[in-house]
Chains A and B, each alone.
Chain A
Amino acid sequence: SQKIEQNSEALNIQEGKTATLTCNYTNYSPAYLQWYRQDPGRGPVFLLLIRENEKEKRKERLKVTFDTTLKQSLFHITASQPADSATYLCALERSWGKLQFGAGTQVVVTP
């Protein structure tokens, strides 16, 4: 079966440091992978999309890498701020139009 694994434990990090989140998958050959942010009581918000032929994508303080050989994506938040505290979800395309989401990793940035 197709599986997506994200760190289940919350990531506690000090303001200014870099947070690194992992998304591992099995039995997939996704054309792309997406990262979303979810705040309590709200719906997920799209952050970044990276395609299978891209190694790295950046958006402001966010960076995503995608290694199709390792079947892994890394999500980095550089110079983290308390406002970055949220749950981050990775999602892979199962078939055209359908996304499967990981369980998410909670990030807590302390001042």
Chain B
Amino acid sequence: DAGVIQSPRHEVTEMGQEVTLRCKPISGHDYLFWYRQTMMRGLELLIYFNNNVPIDDSGMPEDRFSAKMPNASFSTLKIQPSEPRDSAVYFCASRRGGDTQYFGPGTRLTVL
């Protein structure tokens, strides 16, 4: 298996623009997690899905952030409009049942 796939790997955008981050989980995994990592706040859980259904989005910072999982092999995290404070590395992770989490390589987002 190729592992968790994220795209793009790097994104530079201007404040106010819409940003869409993409994730393909490992086949057969029924949980998908979106995290954000910054120097100041470390690795934070934003939202997670089970069988494509959002279970807990309490970590989503505000309404500018939204996440979808239309099917078992694809998820998106959207920021609209983006702000400089959204600059971070965004990780997607997947898991099968109660097993351990497997992280993707991350998307480094820079909002100017």
The chain A residues found within 8 Å of chain B, CB to CB, are 34, 41-46, 49, 89, 96-104
Contact = CB atoms under 8 A, between A and B. Distances in A.
Nearest to B104: A43
Contact of B48 (A42, A43, A97): A97
Nearest to A6: B42
Given A42-B106, A44-B103, A98-B45, 14 more contacts: A41-B105, A41-B106, A43-B91, A43-B103, A45-B103, A46-B100, A89-B43, A97-B48, A97-B50, A97-B56, A98-B48, A99-B45, A101-B42, A104-B42
A101 B93 CA distance: 14
A43 B42 contact: no
B56 A46 contact: no
Contacts, number: 38
B59 to A, nearest CB: 9
Interface of B: 4, 31, 42-43, 45, 48, 50, 55-56, 91, 93, 98, 100-106
B42 A99 contact: no
A67 B31 CA distance: 29
Contacts of A44: 43, 91, 103
A84 B112 CA distance: 35
Nearest to B35: A101
A41 B100 CA distance: 21
Contacts of A101: 42-43
A26 B43 CA distance: 18
A101 B106 CA distance: 16
A97 B56 CA distance: 10
B45 A100 contact: yes
A97 B31 contact: yes
A43 B105 CA distance: 5
A34 B100 contact: yes
Closest 4 CB pairs of A and B: A43-B103, A101-B43, A46-B100, A103-B42
